[in-house]
Structure 1
Amino acid sequence: MKLLKVDSVEETKRKIDHYFEGIYLEEEYIDIAEALDRIAAEDLYAQLEVPEFSRATVDGYAITAKDSYGASESLPTFLQIIGKVEMGETAAHKVTPGKAIYVPTGGMLPQGADAMVMIEYVESLDDETIAVYKAVAPGEGVIQKGEDIQKGEQILSKGRRLKPQDIGMLAAVGIYQIKVFRKPRVFVISTGDELVHPKEEIKPGQIRDINTYTLSAMALNGGAVLAGQVIVKDDFLRLQDIVKNAIAKSDVVVISGGSSVGAKDVTAQVIDSLGEPGVFIHGVAVKPGKPTIIGRVDRTAVFGLPGHPVSAMVIYKVFVDYILQKLQQFNEVQEIVIQGICDANIHASPGKETYQMVQLEKRDDKYIVKPIYGKSGAISLMAEAHGYIKIHGNQEGIHKGEKVEVILL
């Protein structure tokens, strides 16, 4: 077992970057219908223009803008109707001075036209004549060919999490398959002689397993798939066998409990026994979650999280999410942050990055941030929280009335 050495959060992330340099998930092609929330594995460029033809953005008449100059309610311009454009069809006629063609919204703009006058500003005098009561400028009511997306324009960056609008854009440029990173596989293990399944009756001294379900839900919420989940008693050989099996079938193994330095805390020894480079972090200057373990066996990340639910969830968000994003080359800001005014003084532990759970209350046009206090073993602390404040190790704390940033859970 390596000696316990407490690293800062930033030092820990730098070590993760070092030990997992060049380790990424495999790539696969999928249909865009299945691509929501997947991570793009390549830069994509448009191979055509959007729109592929100039078209109307309003319902009305295609004209030459000059024909409408000076038109008003009291002095309309009179134009001859020479046809109409059907949706999904090419315009059959050309617009010339003094002429107009009816075009529905989205229809192809006829050749010779450079503007659309909305039907609300047109009066039909007979089957062949309209009166135009409003002047329009060139380009008004029209989206030109290639105005939305130019051919050769980059439309997606590698490492982007695909949103509904991204998928719509891919469809617009004729891309129906996209290369993405395979979903990361996470295996969740909870350790402890005292743990029992939630459906079981508990005896004095036993507790229902919380972390297996909480951490598994966090993995699924982050876009991972579960490679497995299991409860293991405090037994070195049994835990070693389970972790070895988990490493073989997953990208990240998360073990809650057994990360401290007590007689039954064997997580670090188990990780070191299974291969190189083994444990490279044992102890992080963070509250809650100081006795955190991070290691690597072959290409698999192995985390030893504190057994207390709040500590386990905080460390998962700070470090497990970090490695999951790194494996997929995710390059966007993931955190959603709200600014508010702190409602009370908050003490921080010197030299440790402190994560304080808070609730948000909307008053008038601003958010009031209320700290929630409780011990790290209380799952209700997380259930009641809307988010948390991150207090850096060089800060003594936060004063009542101070502006803070709340990272939403």
Structure 2
Amino acid sequence: MNFFKVSSVDETKDIIDEYFHLEVEGEQVDIFNCVNRIAFDYIRADCNIPEFKRSTVDGFAVNSRDVFGATEAIPAILTLKGEILMGKVTDFNIVDGECAYVPTGGMLPEYADSVIMLEYTQKLDEDTILVYSPVASGDNVIQKGEDIQNDNIVIRKGEKIRPYEVGVLASIGIKHVNVCKKIKVGIISTGNELIACEDELTLGKIRDINTYMLWAAIIDDGAEPINYGIVKDDYKLLKHTICRATEECDILVISGGSSVGKKDQTIKAIEDFEDGKILVHGVSVKPGKPTIVAKKGDKIIFGLPGHPLACSIVYIIFIREYINKAMCYKKEVYAVKSIMSINYHKAKGREEYLPVALENDGDRIIAKPIFGKSGLISTFSRAWGYIKIEKDLEGLREGQVVEIYKL
């Protein structure tokens, strides 16, 4: 029996960077299908937004000099030149002592530099407006190009396109967007004890959790999962499935079969390929120690522990990061500072990821560890996030300020 030669998390990441350089191609998609996709190129505006001076209120377009010093006692008296219609180009200009009615979003005449709100005006007659308050140049006006200027970068390469960026794309008239092609991630679950979630549960069997959990995580990360089903503890069948999956996918994830038990065939199946090689077998992380990183040709293979909690942690640490890096996506992760509710001891020398729930206590946020064995899926489902405890630490103290990362 071969035992683990354990690598640290950082050493494992360095090995992945050394051996694998996945290059993702771009594809053009309709604007309605680009949300949560990663921009493949820098996207620049080819126009100004807005293309003209616009009012932000209902009121009268004026030149600020004409209402300087206006008060309720001594109002400015202006001649009403006309009304500006929405969606229409202004066909008249105002001069000294004149104003024009303008609705919210309407285009200002050339001479006007500000808009006085209706609340500070009174219509004396059909042609005369009294103004009871001064305005500064630019008040209640969006200038030409103030929102977006022509040739400005509006979306950067590697940026995830959210609904708000979709709005920006629509504003500059972009109907089709060049995004990163979805990385194909194959999923294999191994074990004689596994059955599909819809199958009847009999004594000694367990429903496959990891396939469905990984499927959802891969979709959430903007990649395309491909399910190769449950493979029993059969060497030939597993080797055949690995061969097929590595031909069809960019990444292969094998759940289960990564420990050193006699029935675990994953290591043997990979090593028996002419171009197969085990790069890492065992990572100093809790949970998730029996993790495999391997290669077949230029394709990366991750062997994840069968226990759902450990499987989830290893996915977060390595696979999500690999997917993001391949698409040049730098996900911003912000920690929530909280107060540790109890003393927590851990073994020194191993990085640990501790699931926690959060509770409000006045103006403090309390972190409460959720304890459970790595085979329990409910541990993560009850957690808001996790604490990353560095390998050199022996634990956390009650009352200590800790950083919680959202799951």
Interval containing the TM-score (normalised by the shorter chain): over 0.9
Return the alpha-carbon distance in structure 1 between the equivalents of residues 2 and 14 of structure 2: 18
Matches within 5 A, 1:5-404: 5-21=5-21, 23-274=22-273, 276=275, 278-333=277-332, 335-404=333-402
Q: Unaligned regions of 5+ residues in structure 1, if any?
A: none
Q: Unaligned regions of 5+ residues in structure 2, if any?
A: none
Structure 2 counterpart SS, 1:58: coil
Q: Which amino acid aligns with 2:262?
A: A
Structure 2 counterpart SS, 1:378: coil
Return the alpha-carbon distance in structure 2 between the equivalents of residues 73 and 229 of structure 1: 78
CA deviations on 1:318-352 (whole Å, 9 max, x unpaired) are 1111111122111232x353211010112222111
Alpha-carbon offset, residue 180 of structure 1: 0.6
Q: Which amino acid aligns with 1:363?
A: D
Question: What corresponds to 2:404 in structure 1?
Answer: 406
Return the alpha-carbon distance in structure 2 between the equivalents of residues 80 and 273 of structure 1: 90
Return the alpha-carbon distance in structure 2 between the equivalents of residues 105 and 378 of structure 1: 57
CA deviations on 1:253-310 (whole Å, 9 max, x unpaired) are 1111110111112212222334536322211110000110112323432110001111
Comparing 197-206 with 33-42, greater Cα deviation is found at 197-206
Return the alpha-carbon distance in structure 2 between the equivalents of residues 202 and 146 of structure 1: 63
Alpha-carbon offset, residue 202 of structure 1: 3.4
Return the alpha-carbon distance in structure 2 between the equivalents of residues 100 and 174 of structure 1: 33
CA deviations on 1:66-100 (whole Å, 9 max, x unpaired) are 11111112211110101111111111111211000
Q: Does the Cα contact within 8 Å between 2:281 and 2:290 map onto a contact in 1? A: yes
Structure 2 counterpart SS, 1:148: coil
Q: Which amino acid aligns with 1:141?
A: N
Q: Which amino acid aligns with 1:358?
A: V
Alpha-carbon offset, residue 3 of structure 1: 8.2
Q: Does the Cα contact within 8 Å between 2:354 and 2:386 map onto a contact in 1? A: yes
Comparing 293-302 with 143-152, greater Cα deviation is found at 293-302
Q: Does the Cα contact within 8 Å between 1:187 and 1:253 map onto a contact in 2? A: yes
Q: Does the Cα contact within 8 Å between 1:251 and 1:299 map onto a contact in 2? A: no
Change (3 A) 1:328 1:275: farther
Structure 2 counterpart SS, 1:326: helix
Change (3 A) 1:199 1:152: closer
Q: Does the Cα contact within 8 Å between 2:46 and 2:151 map onto a contact in 1? A: yes
Alpha-carbon offset, residue 210 of structure 1: 1.4
Change (3 A) 1:219 1:275: farther
Structure 2 counterpart SS, 1:350: coil
Q: Which amino acid aligns with 2:223?
A: A
Q: Does the Cα contact within 8 Å between 2:71 and 2:134 map onto a contact in 1? A: yes
Return the alpha-carbon distance in structure 2 between the equivalents of residues 3 and 311 of structure 1: 19
Return the alpha-carbon distance in structure 1 between the equivalents of residues 226 and 284 of structure 2: 30
Q: Does the Cα contact within 8 Å between 1:287 and 1:349 map onto a contact in 2? A: no
Structure 2 counterpart SS, 1:231: strand
Comparing 151-160 with 35-44, greater Cα deviation is found at 151-160
Return the alpha-carbon distance in structure 2 between the equivalents of residues 254 and 168 of structure 1: 36
Structure 2 counterpart SS, 1:146: coil
Alpha-carbon offset, residue 386 of structure 1: 1.2
Q: Does the Cα contact within 8 Å between 1:24 and 1:329 map onto a contact in 2? A: no
Change (3 A) 1:308 1:262: same
Q: Does the Cα contact within 8 Å between 1:121 and 1:133 map onto a contact in 2? A: yes
Return the alpha-carbon distance in structure 1 between the equivalents of residues 86 and 297 of structure 2: 59
Q: Which amino acid aligns with 1:13?
A: K
Structure 2 counterpart SS, 1:280: strand
Return the alpha-carbon distance in structure 2 between the equivalents of residues 174 and 299 of structure 1: 40
Q: Does the Cα contact within 8 Å between 1:212 and 1:229 map onto a contact in 2? A: no
Return the alpha-carbon distance in structure 2 between the equivalents of residues 131 and 76 of structure 1: 6
Q: Does the Cα contact within 8 Å between 2:52 and 2:107 map onto a contact in 1? A: yes
Return the alpha-carbon distance in structure 2 between the equivalents of residues 278 and 76 of structure 1: 85
Q: Which amino acid aligns with 1:386?
A: W
Return the alpha-carbon distance in structure 1 between the equivalents of residues 59 and 273 of structure 2: 72
Return the alpha-carbon distance in structure 1 between the equivalents of residues 87 and 2 of structure 2: 70
Q: Does the Cα contact within 8 Å between 1:159 and 1:332 map onto a contact in 2? A: no
* Seq. identity, %: 43
Change (3 A) 1:239 1:396: same
Structure 2 counterpart SS, 1:107: coil
Return the alpha-carbon distance in structure 2 between the equivalents of residues 199 and 148 of structure 1: 52
Structure 2 counterpart SS, 1:382: helix
CA deviations on 1:207-264 (whole Å, 9 max, x unpaired) are 2221111111211222222222401111111111111111122222111111011111
Q: Does the Cα contact within 8 Å between 1:258 and 1:267 map onto a contact in 2? A: yes
Q: Which amino acid aligns with 1:369?
A: A
Q: Which amino acid aligns with 1:114?
A: D
Q: Which amino acid aligns with 1:399?
A: R
